[in-house]
Structure 1
Amino acid sequence: MSTTDVTPPRPSGEAHQSWFAKSEAWLDEKGKGAWIAAMVLGFVIFWPIGLAILAYMIWSKRMFSKSCNRGWDRSAMHGHRHPMHAARAAMRPSGNQAFDSYKADMLRRLEDEQRAFEEFLERLREAKDKSEFDQFMDERARRTADDDRAPEPQSQGYQPSQNQGPQGGY
């Protein structure tokens, strides 16, 4: 006679997870901010709890990993750690020639438009600078013209009298 193990199959999913695993999954889902809030709350309630959460966050690398900052960095949501990775991914061919042709044409048009806009801004800055310089020169010319027309005031300072003899003065 053979003996077989007759254990009922375990249900899969969250029903079987412990409260710790459920809370860990919930905090991971909410992001790094939830972990930090839980740590601060732990410090407020009883400082060893906060310290334990902090140690767990560092030990499990949740404090510095990209999995907990999903909501903070838009490029991380798309699987790119750095914006340059996203730019390189955009330049890679997709395999669809019609789309790649459209993308290349659109990028070329956008670059031309950007170049034209930057040239426009440069011309605008030059025009503004020229306008300000012309205004400065006009004001300067007006000031010198006003100074030439106005008579010079005579000095009102001390002028000794030539008539004073020994009895005048001190």
Structure 2
Amino acid sequence: MTPTPTATHTMPRMGWFARAEAWLDERGKGAWIAAMVFGFIFVWPVGLAILAYMIWSKRMFNSSCRSRAMAHRSSHGFKTSGNTAFDSYKADMLKRLEDEQHAFETFLERLREAKDKSEFDAFMDERADAAKSSEDA
């Protein structure tokens, strides 16, 4: 079972500010207000900066920040095109790419483990040789 694409799948490609903004947008206006209040409590310039950003980006006056998060997701190709054949092809292609990515990551993990094992074996051989030469001396 593969997870459905969400905004969190694209988050590693974004900067820390964009990730924080997307995270707060997914949780709605209450999360923005809570972040602003905590900003004022702990470091007042941070709270002031969040308030200014909320007013500047019109998040303070919108009915919901979630609509912006949904628009963000649909702009990355997760929205249906209306053509069922294309949507099916796209879903199959995305699944195939995710499977290939998983297989490649598994291969890299096995490669790292093999490298670690060979380095450890070389270390143990060197240690055994050193112990053997110290016994002979």
Using the size of structure 2 for normalisation, the TM-score is 0.47
Judging by fraction of residues, say which structure has more helix.
2
Greater relative contact order structure (CA < 8 Å, 6+ sep): 2
Quick check: which has more Rg, 1 or 2?
Answer: 1
Using the size of structure 1 for normalisation, the TM-score is 0.39
